[in-house]
Amino acid sequence: MKTAANTTSRNDPCWCGSGKKYKKCHLPADQKQVPASKEKTKPKGRNIILKTEEQIEGIRKSCQLTKDLLNMVEERIGEGVTTNEIDEWVHSETLANGALPAPLNYGRGQGRQRMPFPKSVCTSLNEVICHGIPNSRSLQHGDIVNVDVTCVLNGYFGDASRMFIIGDVPERTRELVDVTRECLNLGIDQVRPQNTLGDIGNAIQVHAEKHGFSVVRDFAGHGVGIEFHEAPQVLHYGQPGVGEALRENMIFTIEPMINMGGFECKVLGDGWTAVTVDGTLSAQWEHTLLVTENGVEVLTA
């Protein structure tokens, strides 16, 4: 699941995706995590969790299970399969491996204005950008669909998503899917100590826009591992050299959402499903990443 972007301001939407303003949601809790004397001098990165070796190993195992679950989906998905069936596959296989599906009931007890997420996986079809809720619709020839899996294994989170093309699609649609994956890989190429989050976002934005696509602004990547959503937010657009500097043992997702048309989105009445305003297609790929001493380890590869 994605976190909403632009959370540095009190009046922006909260990073957790609740739909509330930051000041009415997580701001008080975030402020409690930093001594008041340090809050003004170190406003950035104050909630970032640098993982221990023990935590990294636990997160690595969870990420490998997430990868295995996506491999299972890739083997089974096809025309005529419903997104409910995908949800059932992921749910049962997650439990069979001693883990829990993180999306299921996400948001319960957090004071949200919407229902908890009702399924174990997100399936975002065609014009759906993210947080699509599985249902009885069958996949059809010409569809594209993102399957977003997050499992919790022994208390550690692993998060990844993949695009799937059902049957034949127009060349421009295939290009959207391919370029989005290239955007992810170019973002990963920027992950190493002392590079910045802006370096990641800029690499993604430049490549997407070079091909005539747009980058979604309203959702972002996020820290992950000990919690489902942690700091920092990882925007998929920006300027090089700007933002939080990357440090060894940071773990976060990069998950660019790239639209064929404009970048504007809206959330449907279910409170979760985000779609393109202009009805054009959207694609997304995601990995969980560890910043190493000299570069990056893709934990969900």
Chain Cα centroid distance, residue 162:
11
Residue 216 belongs to some domain of the structure? yes
Q: In total, how many domains does the chain have?
A: 1
pLDDT digits (tens, 9 = 90+) for 65-107: 999 999 999 999 999 999 999 999 999 999 999 999 999 999 8
Q: What is the dihedral of CA 148, 143, 283, 101, to 10 degrees?
A: -10
Residue 270 belongs to some domain of the structure? yes
- Report, as ranges of residue numbers, the positions in the chain whose pLDDT lies below 70: 5-46, 109-114
The runs of H, that is alpha helices, within the chain are 27-32, 36-39, 53-76, 83-96, 171-189, 197-210
**70 is in which domain, residue-wise?**
3-12+52-298
Residue 23 belongs to some domain of the structure? no
pLDDT digits (tens, 9 = 90+) for 161-175: 999 999 999 999 999
Residue 273 belongs to some domain of the structure? yes
Residue 31 belongs to some domain of the structure? no
Residue 20 belongs to some domain of the structure? no
State residue 2's pLDDT score. Answer: 83
Residue 36 belongs to some domain of the structure? no
What CATH number is attached to the domain comprising 243?
3.90.230.10
Residue 122 belongs to some domain of the structure? yes
